[in-house]
Amino acid sequence: MEVKENLINGMNNYIERIKRSEEIYLEILEKIPTNYKEKIYKIQDRELFNKVISNFVTSLNQEKAEGDLMNIYDIAIHTKTKALIIANKGATLYSLTEKYETPHLVRHIGMCIYMPGIGVEYANAGIVGNIYDDKIVLRTESACTPSFLFGSQRCNCHYQWKNIRELSAYFNKIEAPNIQNGDDFEAWVQKQYKYENGKHIYQNNSKLGFIMLHIDSQNGMGSGYTKNEFVFDLSERASIRHRGEYTSEQTYKTTMYGGFTTIGINGDPRAENDNIGYKVTPVILDYLGANNKVIMLTNNPLKIKQMQNFGYEIIRVKSIGAVNVAGSTEATQRGTEFHHLDINGDLTSFKEDYERIKEEIKEIIKG
């Protein structure tokens, strides 16, 4: 009985939190001036900020915190979509790439987006270089647990992600100072970006700015989406559905698209409700204040279309990553069943694709 009561009490407390969140969200919308023209409205009112930070996903209490949470988090509304964004204000990482061990700096911002019509999206953004003054390169990647965790070769997701990381480092390689003390080195790292007026300002020369978006909540092509429901657990729902999709493919000897329909959902739920799942990327770029001229590494026409709908000028560059014999079947199905561009199962090595994209980008920025 005690276990049952704990479960019920916990669920009731969560229901009350959702009710409070609804009231706070409506209060935020009422604060936005009717003539407000900017893409992003940031919450500056401390009382309202504290309501959000304690009742929404962060669930933090300013009275218990030793630091001022307004110095750590941003809370904002995306005025076009009315999405509520909660994000940390960034941390600078000294990083090495996986393949070539190229040293570079990444500004890391984590965020959740309460997206009307779909639910709570979770994303990690990596900024490399200067993303404000000229063209930027963008790769937006849906989570793929099998390839990232276990090195699955049936898809090219991990290779595409590795590719954008190598490229961002190549165009923004740094020479780290000869500092032997760890604390002193970390102090140097922290000085390489400044957070000013909502922008992450790189303090070094940058040949080309990069934004790498990893959409954690869109595991399996955003398979957590459920029509007419605001889903608070998109990451969990998408993940377990995607595992079922994998099982259904092998159990019923079906295709990738058929794996989704076998468990009763659309092959790409992001495309439902006017491509709602694809809105999260331009919302994040609007929040970051990035340049609107974007070299986009993608094969997905729906990603391009949604970016253009939000006013971004897109130059598309094909992104394969790598395809070997273990991944050729899924690569073919991405082209035939999901209508992705220029991917047909042809075998490609990582080095070949990396060198091709690097040279294409050089030609674009030269022009």
Go through the domains of the chain in sequence order and give each one's CATH number. Answer: 1-60 (no CATH), 80-366 (3.40.50.10990)
Q: Report the b/e string of 57-66 with b at 16+ CB within 10 A.
A: ebebeeeeee
Instruction: Measure the CA–CA gap between 104 and 171, rounded to whole angstroms.
Output: 9
Q: How many C-beta atoms surround the C-beta of residue 228 within 10 A?
A: 6
Q: Which of 105, 99, 318, 97 is nearest to 193 (CA)?
A: 105
pLDDT in tens, the chain (367 residues): 687 788 999 999 999 999 999 999 999 999 999 999 999 999 999 999 999 999 999 999 999 999 999 999 999 999 999 999 999 999 999 999 999 999 999 999 999 999 999 999 999 999 999 999 999 999 999 999 999 999 999 999 999 999 999 999 999 999 999 999 999 999 999 999 999 999 999 999 999 999 999 999 999 999 999 999 999 999 999 999 999 999 999 999 999 999 999 999 999 999 999 999 999 999 999 999 999 999 999 999 999 999 999 999 999 999 999 999 999 999 999 999 999 999 999 999 999 999 999 999 999 999 7
| CA distances (Å), origin 77, targets 31, 114, 152, 215, 232 | 10, 9, 38, 19, 18
Q: How many C-beta atoms surround the C-beta of residue 11 within 10 A?
A: 10
Place of tokens 């377990």: 240
- Phi/psi at 300 (5° precision): -95, 110
Two tokens, residue 309: 């709908």
CB 306 within 8 A of CB 280: no
Instruction: Measure the CA–CA gap between 105 and 94, rounded to whole angstroms.
Output: 5
**Distance of alpha carbon 131 from its chain centroid, rounded?**
16
Two tokens, residue 121: 């999206």
- Phi/psi at 177 (5° precision): -70, 155
pLDDT score for 1: 64
CB 266 within 8 A of CB 260: yes
- Phi/psi at 276 (5° precision): -60, -35
- Phi/psi at 121 (5° precision): -90, 140
Q: Which of 328, 343, 339 is nearest to 275 (CA)?
A: 339
Per residue, the 3-state secondary structure of the chain, as one string, reads: CHHHHHHHHHHHHHHHHHHHHHHHHHHHHHHCCCCCCCCEEECCCHHHHHHHHHHCCCCCCCCCCCCCHHHCEEEEEECCCCEEEEEECCEEEEEECCCCCCEEEEEEEEEEEEECCCEEEEEEEEEECCCCCCCEEEEEEECCHHHHHHCCCCCCHHHHHHHHHHHHHHCCCCCCCCCCCHHHHHHHHHCCEEEECCEEEECCCCCCEEEEEEEHHHHHHHCCCCCCCCECCHHHHHHHHHHHHHHHHHHHCCCHHHHHHHCCCCCCHHHHHHHHHHCHHHHHHHHHCCCCEEEEECCCHHHHHHHHHCCCEEEEECCCCCECCCCHHHHHHHHHCCCCCCCCCCCECHHHHHHHHHHHHHHHHHC
pLDDT score for 367: 75
